[in-house]
Amino acid sequence: MDRAQARRRLDALWAPGCAFLGSDLAIMGGAMSWVSERNLVAATSNAGGFGVLACGAMTPELLDAEIAATAALTDRPFGVNLIVMHPELDTLSDVCAARGVGHVVLAGGVPREATIARIKASGAKVAAFASTVALARRLIRLGADALVIEGMEAGGHIGRVATGVLAQEILPEVREVPVFVAGGIGRGEAMVNYLQMGAAGCQIGTRLVCATESIAHAAFKQAIIRANARDAQPSVQLDPEFPVIPVRALINQASLRFVETQREVIARFRAGELAQKEAQLAIEHFWAGALRRAVIDGDVENGSLMAGQSVGMVRREQPVAEILAEMVDQALDCLANSCGERAAQ
């Protein structure tokens, strides 16, 4: 097909995603703590994508100010990512409602039906993360308007199944609501592949970390630019008795020290010097504040360099609009060359 036909095909493929988000491109920005703040979110929406604010551990007051500041930078739709386990989740939901946020993305656990209903009562749409077909169906029953399926190639907290496998499991089975695919997506050809499989759109995170508009420290950005896919590894767990939530990040001195810290803490527990709960807390406390140290302070040796395996496709600092345009061009080239059609057969 020619370029014009490819454009029409792409528009048709992600029409459900664009309609749900209210954006020109069905590309969501991943909610990355300390990175997905007002500047990057507004830039993503202004470029035709859909920016998503990372609430993380913010207080309601901080979230309120951040939503207002983002709205001052863009007149395009954007969403807010809320963590289900946040102790003030209901209040945060009310903040979103008061600010007229049109989309709330719930992450970090399975939300209660009452939480979804509370958010939707304001007129907002709710998206939630699903890792299995069963969970997808449960979330739909609870009232979720859209789903995100994120594979283990993603940065930060990850699941245990690859994006391609999740897509094959879930996309053919879930048609009731739009489904966005995330994890390891760095080029437009990958977007086309998932769209052809039935996805409504995609979510990207690591590709945006080094955007010109990103406030991430220059040292953090350089670490990302220098890295390749194999540098982004899940955190290591030494003993199943002391579980470690898997987090994908670039290997640095802190990563190596974390392994040694686990070894030392577990040895103290075995020697009777620490209770199990004390040992578990000591292990979990290791990373406290580590992401901020890397992203904001630029301490790339002692901080956490969270990144997905698409990190090898981040070659330089670029404006968000240029990043999204590149991915769209790649998607159009793929369709024009019929590679997307072959993937669907």
d(CA 94, CA 206): 30
Mean pLDDT within 212-238: 97
How, if at all, do strands 103-107 and 125-129 pair?
A: parallel
pLDDT at 59: 97
Helix axes 89-98, 113-120, angle to 10 degrees: 20
d(CA 156, CA 154): 7
pLDDT at 343: 43
Q: Which of 172, 167, 127 is nearest to 147 (CA)?
A: 127
Mean pLDDT within 307-336: 97
Domains belonging to the chain, first-starting first, are 3-215+316-344 (3.20.20.70), 228-306 (no CATH)
Task: Find residue 27's DSSP bridge partners.
Answer: 202
pTM: 0.94
Taking all residues of the chain, what is their mean pLDDT, rounded to a whole number?
A: 95
Taking only the tens place, the pLDDT of each residue in 162-187 is: 999 999 999 999 999 999 999 999 99
Taking only the tens place, the pLDDT of each residue in 324-339 is: 999 999 999 999 997 6
pLDDT at 240: 93
Q: Does 232 score more than 50 pLDDT?
A: yes
pLDDT at 1: 84
CA 332, 334, 339, 340 dihedral sign is negative
Least confident piece of the model among 135-139, 182-186, 217-221, 237-241? 237-241
3-state secondary structure of 321: helix
Mean pLDDT within 307-312: 97
